[in-house]
Chains A and B, each alone.
Chain A
Amino acid sequence: MSGILTRRNFLRGSAIAGSGLILAGCDQFDFLGSKENQVRKVMEQANVLTYQVQRRLIGAQTLAREYSASEIRQGQRPNGSVDPSTAEYVALRDSGFAGYKLKITGMVEQPLEFSLDELRNMPARSQITRHDCVEGWSCIAKWTGTPLGPILDMARVKPEARFCVYHCYDNIQRTLSGDILYYTSSDLIDAYHPQSILSYGLNDQVLPVSNGAPIRLRIERALGYKQPKYLHTIELVDSLAAFGKGKGGYWEDTGYDWYAGI
């Protein structure tokens, strides 16, 4: 065998392989960023599969892990909106949320309203859980609030309702044609989950504005964008098509998956 030839082949081949690696990236696949692209739409079905598999695999009552108090090593990192500037919210904040009402509307037999004091006087639950941002970071904090399930029962959810839409005060995005307000949604399994609480307390303090005062919903088996801050209305619906761009939430409308359990 000829060692020189082999070595030359070896070097040439390595160079080809190396340049292939560098060329690999580029922007040939940027079309996948377009929401209307058919290939992307097929790929999005993988998220539907993830949702269905996790729903079959994970019991409706299965709890997210709760941590010990010693795991609270820092404040809850604020993210997204941290100081909403809509006139409605600013007025509420300046009055110490005295006029705040949480509304339960939509497909319910009995629409309801609760003041902050009423919510604070209802049975409370505290849980030390890990908040996972879709960006990749995690933060452990203690959340205190009243479970959402019993409140939905008081409003008597109609059988045709399939989703809860969570409407928020914060203008997450300001555009030329006006503010875009934050909203997200969940199925009724997440809404009725025992750890799904309307939280008004964080780390044994009153929930601060930067973390969603006066009320932030916790959905502990989902990523951070399913923990809506500055919550004012929970609307029960049978379809998400009527809200925003129809994908079930502010971030969902920009291309994030709706389920957010992974």
Chain B
Amino acid sequence: MSEQAGLPAVKGPLIYRQSIWTRVTHWIWAICLFFLLLTGLQIFNAHPALYIGQQSGFEFENAILEIGAVNTPEGPRGRTTVFGQTFDSTALGLGVSGSAERPTFTGFPGAVTIPSYRDLGTGRVVHFFFGWVFVITMFIWFLASFINGHIRRDIVPGPADIKGVPRDVADHARLRFHHGRTYGPLQKLAYFGVFFVLFPLIVLTGLTMSPGINAIAPWMLDIFGGRQTARTIHFIVMLLLVGFFIIHIVMVVAAGPINELRSMLSGWYRASPGTPTAEGDKP
């Protein structure tokens, strides 16, 4: 906080907190997730509906989300149905977007898809390219972080972390952050959820949509409850990752963007005053 508030407080030590593996994989993922999200929405727009089960119900009902448009006396309106509840989604750009004179009829608006116009083929090319980069980066991260102790030290929450959750929640609510040598309890829980739950889930549900992978690993269809359910889970995990991203950015800003960015670029992180120094620290 001292840096942000500009108050002459005793500085904590400058510690080398982020290894080169953490930093490089972090930024590769940032680029991957950007393209995967925007091309994913392009792919979704080819059939803007989600179902539960093996197949899509055209003559029976198993959709949990449908985005479309209807004509009304006031012009075309976006219509979205979630779990049977239909609402007008024009204001969100879902179903109809663009100007009143030249409306575009897509699930998600072109502002959040790559390409901005409808092009499923290109969306798939870019999505699968970054899918590969994402997965390879994930393997490198898991291997490096297991070997250098990042997973054990910073990611997997221990009993002390679990006990520290209520206090950490209270500190976060007051925007009071402790910059320690390792991550705080909520940080650990968040990253653990991303690395051990969301990342594997989004990759596996993506692969479950592949008819080729279905042949060699039909059990994946069973654990996810069918290809269409896998597609739905893939979408929901996307929403959770977007939620994580928003909180992540907000926390970086709240906790001191200069310090946080420096640690993710150079590895060096200014700990809170009073943090005991250790070998390798800089003043």
Contacts and interface: CB of A to CB of B under 8 A. Distances in A.
B237 interface: no
A135 B46 contact: yes
Interface string A1-21: 111011101101110110001
A257 interface: yes
Contacts of A46: 125, 128-129, 131-132
A254 interface: yes
A178 interface: no
Interface stretch (B1-9, B20-28, B145-153): B1-9
B169 interface: no
Contact of B211 (A7, A29, A43, A223): A223
Interface string A194-237: 00000000000000000000000000111100000000000000
Contacts of A49: 132
Contact of A30 (B1, B117, B215, B257): B117
A9 B38 CA distance: 29
Contacts of A10: 175, 250, 253-254
Interface in A19-77: 21-22, 24-27, 29-30, 32-33, 40, 42-47, 49-50, 54, 57-59, 62-65, 67, 71, 73-75, 77
Interface in A151-175: none
A257 B122 contact: no
B34 interface: yes
Nearest to A30: B115
Contacts, number: 198
A187 interface: no
Interface of B: 1-2, 4-5, 7, 34-35, 38, 43-44, 46-47, 49, 51, 54-60, 109-117, 119-122, 124-126, 128-129, 131-132, 175-176, 207, 209-216, 218, 221, 227-228, 231, 246, 249-250, 252-254, 257
Given A64-B215, A132-B209, A136-B47, 8 more contacts: A17-B246, A22-B111, A29-B38, A30-B115, A45-B129, A63-B215, A138-B228, A256-B120
Interface of A: 1-3, 5-7, 9-10, 12-14, 16-17, 21-22, 24-27, 29-30, 32-33, 40, 42-47, 49-50, 54, 57-59, 62-65, 67, 71, 73-75, 77, 130, 132-140, 220-223, 251, 254-257, 261-262
